[in-house]
Chain A
Amino acid sequence: MKKPFGIMLAALALGSAALALAADAPKPTPSRPPTAADWAALAKLPDWSGVWEVDWRGQRRVAPPPAAAGAAGGPPRMMRAQMKLKPQYQAMAAAYRAGRQKGENIQGEGANCVPPGLPGIMSQPYPIEFLFTPGKVVVLIEAYMQFRHIYTDGRKHPDDPDPTFMGDSIGHWEGDTLVVDSVGFNDTVQITPGVPHSDKLHIIERIRKVDPEWMEIQTTLDDPDVLEEPYTTTASFHHLNDDIREYICVENNHDSTDDKGRPGFSVEDKK
């Protein structure tokens, strides 16, 4: 089919505009096609195959922890330090909690199918899966059907990342531990409910497999504008004998949250 000359010219002009934009954009991935050596190197990484589900001790499907496991491995641990907010943010957290007495702030945007972003998305009551591929680790997250890219190709964060739910994640291996640093979060991501983060927030995750049945993720929130000191939690994940399943939150959602955090529920049969 013959294209009018004008349209071809316009397409050319658009093409050069796109090229000019690309020159200013963050470095794209992959920077080069993977080689056979890149694929072979993946075999040397620890085996994180299968799917993993956060383990709140005492809840369903929890195998008894290995009885004699020492500090190096085994038992599920949920560790939560005392969060030390700067004074003005303490007041903010208190005001948020006070709203609960009025029936506000008792439900989040998750009920409207908005995913929580990092770090909350990693510890939903649904499994996650790690996929290794040259230059990045991909995390598949069943809840809200999300994914993360953790770049391990040596790149730096963009100078001015767009604020996103997951942030910009770069990672490197320290032995068998994947250390991930993420920056660039949108306002959905909060330090604690009702407390926003600053542009300085880094989320650092140390992810490792403890034994064949358990993984552990240590998560640190480092935000010097909001926190007196970095805040670290540790969550355990047990191996789940299943695959990641589909989760489309808007498929048949009867729940809702209004702008004051008050819950709603529709009894209407929508079909």
Chain B
Amino acid sequence: MSTVKFRVAAWLVAASAMVLAPLALAHHSTAMFDMTKTVEIKGTIKRFDWTNPHTMTYVEVAGEPAVAGEYAVEGMSPNYLGREGWSRHSLKGGDKVTMQIYPLKDGRKGGFMGSVTLPDGTVMYNLPRRGGVDPSKTP
């Protein structure tokens, strides 16, 4: 557990996320995040803030010094996610998760959430998915 695997996957869908995300975010652009790549982090949820204007998830990641630490991951608002089937209980402190994030461009530990895989294998999506297609399954 808590081995850190950085996978910089050039998802084809990243392009569509770039188009969609600015529309879906009411109050800021995605300029501080690198929306052209995703990074996979594995770690333990410290806390999930079900708050406006964005949810915030703090993930404790162990491993090599370069990647270990606390990640601040911004997500869509509780208003949006609540309408997409999430709740304030969707992520809990102590949950071991794998998360796909669009990393901060400046190298600090954090980013914007793409999706999160829960301990039971359920995948929760933060961003809208075009036509219901699972982006992680897109070739």
Contact = CB atoms under 8 A, between A and B. Distances in A.
Contact of A265 (B71, B74, B80): B74
B25 interface: yes
Contact of A257 (B23, B28, B82): B28
Nearest to A248: B52
B27 interface: yes
B84 A60 contact: yes
Instruction: Give the secondary structure class of A's interface.
Output: loop
What's the interface size class on B, roughly?
35 or more
A150 B36 CA distance: 43
Given A111-B27, A252-B56, A267 B110 contact: yes
Contact of A126 (B26, B28, B130): B26
Contacts of A245: 78-79, 82
B15 interface: no
A268 to B, nearest CB: 7
A263 B53 contact: no
A142 B51 contact: no
B23 A249 contact: no
| Residue with the highest number of chain A CB atoms closer than 10 Å, among B31, B53, B129 | B53
A243 to B, nearest CB: 11
A269 B58 CA distance: 8
B67 to A, nearest CB: 15
B130 A58 contact: yes
B52 A249 contact: yes
A36 to B, nearest CB: 38
Given A110-B28, A268-B72, A271-B49, A255 B23 contact: no
A143 interface: yes
A124 B26 contact: yes
Contacts of B83: 61, 240, 242
A106 interface: yes
A28 to B, nearest CB: 33
A236 B20 CA distance: 17
B111 to A, nearest CB: 9
A125 interface: yes
Interface in B46-76: 46-47, 49, 51-54, 56, 58, 70-72, 74
Interface of A: 56, 58-61, 106-108, 110-111, 113, 124-126, 142-144, 240, 242, 245-249, 251-255, 257, 263-269, 271
21 contacts: A60-B128, A107-B28, A124-B26, A125-B23, A125-B24, A242-B83, A245-B78, A247-B79, A248-B52, A249-B53, A251-B52, A252-B49, A252-B51, A253-B27, A253-B53, A254-B74, A264-B32, A265-B33, A265-B74, A267-B71, A267-B104
Closest 5 CB pairs of A and B: A252-B51, A111-B28, A60-B128, A267-B72, A110-B27
Interface of B: 20, 23-29, 31-33, 46-47, 49, 51-54, 56, 58, 70-72, 74, 77-80, 82-84, 104, 108-110, 128-130
Given A59-B24, A267-B72, A268-B72, 16 more contacts: A58-B130, A59-B128, A113-B53, A124-B26, A125-B26, A240-B83, A247-B53, A249-B52, A251-B52, A251-B53, A254-B54, A255-B27, A255-B53, A266-B72, A267-B109, A269-B72
